[in-house]
Amino acid sequence: MKTADVIVIGGGIAGASAAAEIAADGARVLLLEMESQPGYHTTGRSAAMYEPSEGVAIVRALTRASFPFFATPPDGFTDVPLLSPRGVLMFAYDGQEMLAADAKRNGFAEVDASFARAKLPLLKLDGTIAILWDGDAQDVDVDALHGGRLRALRRMKGELVVDAPVHAGKRVGGTWRLDAGSEGCEAPTVVLAAGAWSDRVAASCGIVPVGLQPKRRSAAVISGPVGAAVGDWPEISPVDVSFYCKPMGGKLMLSPADEEPVEPHDAWADDLRLAEAAAGLEQLVDMQVQRLERTWGGLRTFAPDGLPVVGFDPDAHGFFWLAGQGGYGIQTSPALSRLAAALVAGRDVPADLTRDGIAPEPLSPSRFR
């Protein structure tokens, strides 16, 4: 039987970040991951963007509050920058005036065709009624971010156990006892960061689910046009985000931005939706998509109101939720993990988060009970 002060379930970006922040408070932390490779599910399948203009107000606040960590991570966290410049161009067409106005309210600036063509010379701009630019959007080095969190946890004597799926749990006396594969473990506090599986894991511990819905999103790697320096292209999408495309590893990542409700599983791509995205891209950029070189799917998981679920369960003492990050779990992870660590330790919410308008109540699982 392994013992700890806090057990974190799930070794994606949410669990790894929270485990490291909680360990930094001096707690003995045990991080349980069901796969042999932490980051195997959604964390390893994202578009790796930091987009401060994306999402509803509290998501934007969490993203902004995460910027200082990305810009200046703690000493020794990583040898490479966590952020690098990217930018997002969006294109509005007839009937999309409201979407364009929303984007401008959230931080996009309207630019002209010559600005857009300077960023991406092969753009076909016929029919656009507005071109919008978010120059604050950046690429995130997710491997460096996730790896840095796991190293920080180890440095603080925290332990990561892989191949440790939590099947069941119950509270005995003042302690949670979890059955995790061949491991039995116990701690007074459990943090649930199991991504798409969070509701199922909660139920296996006798806790009422909050109603999380995983939604599959497909993605593919394609080659850019011969001779084009695609590495410098911005992310591009129509303002209704019916698809998006951005540079990735010297090639391009293309996604139909699909949101198919599914059960938790090892997700794969919807090739039909990817073909539609390829057709959309060919209408926006003077290029032919010859083939999808690699495809994948990932699960973005949403609470009924679309906001993250962060806080102690009101009906299960010592059981803390950190789930429902939807499409923003990478870019909000620094702020969400600091908020989680403060609440787990019973500390006040850090002052910089409060200043940004981040309060625990709108994120608490109590809102679903």
Ligand X SMILES: Cc1cc2nc3c(=O)[nH]c(=O)nc-3n(C[C@H](O)[C@H](O)[C@H](O)COP(=O)(O)OP(=O)(O)OC[C@H]3O[C@@H](n4cnc5c(N)ncnc54)[C@H](O)[C@@H]3O)c2cc1C
Residues that bind ligand X (CB under 6 A): 9-15, 32-35, 38, 40-43, 45-49, 165-166, 193-195, 197, 201, 217, 219, 255, 298, 300, 325, 327-331
Q: How far apart are CA 338 and CA 208, in angstroms?
A: 25
The torsion of the CA quartet 261, 211, 165, 156, rounded to 10 degrees, works out to 110
For the packed helices 142-155 and 13-24, what is the interaxial angle rounded to 10 degrees?
A: 30
Of 70, 15, 72, 13, the closest CA to residue 43 belongs to: 13
Q: How far apart are CA 199 and CA 313, in angstroms?
A: 12
**Lookup result for tokens 């995130």:** 140
Q: Which is nearer to ligand X, 308 or 318 (CB)?
A: 308
Q: Which is nearer to ligand X, 11 or 318 (CB)?
A: 11
Q: Which is nearer to ligand X, 93 or 296 (CB)?
A: 296
Q: How far apart are CA 212 and CA 208, in angstroms?
A: 11
Q: Which is nearer to ligand X, 267 or 284 (CB)?
A: 267
Could you tell me if 336 and 308 are in contact, meaning their C-beta atoms sit under 8 angstroms apart? yes
Q: Which is nearer to ligand X, 78 or 295 (CB)?
A: 295
Least distance (Å) from ligand X to the CB of residue 70?
11
Least distance (Å) from ligand X to the CB of residue 97?
26
Least distance (Å) from ligand X to the CB of residue 343?
17
**Lookup result for tokens 């042999």:** 36
Longest CA span, the chain: 68
Q: Which is nearer to ligand X, 130 or 243 (CB)?
A: 243
Q: Which is nearer to ligand X, 19 or 130 (CB)?
A: 19
Least distance (Å) from ligand X to the CB of residue 321?
11
Q: How far apart are CA 173 and CA 190, in angstroms?
A: 14
Could you tell me if 222 and 252 are in contact, meaning their C-beta atoms sit under 8 angstroms apart? yes
Q: How far apart are CA 259 and CA 359, in angstroms?
A: 28
Least distance (Å) from ligand X to the CB of residue 18?
9
Q: Which is nearer to ligand X, 24 or 220 (CB)?
A: 220
Count of all residues that appear for the chain in the document: 369
Q: Is the dihedral of CA 68, 69, 71, 75 positive or negative?
A: positive
**Lookup result for tokens 């960023």:** 119
Of 201, 198, 202, 191, the closest CA to residue 213 belongs to: 198
The torsion of the CA quartet 66, 301, 208, 185, rounded to 10 degrees, works out to -70
Q: Which is nearer to ligand X, 52 or 128 (CB)?
A: 52
Q: Which is nearer to ligand X, 128 or 298 (CB)?
A: 298
∠ CA 277-279-282 to the nearest 5 degrees? 110
For 338, phi then psi, to 5°, come to -70, -40
Least distance (Å) from ligand X to the CB of residue 128?
24
Could you tell me if 204 and 168 are in contact, meaning their C-beta atoms sit under 8 angstroms apart? yes
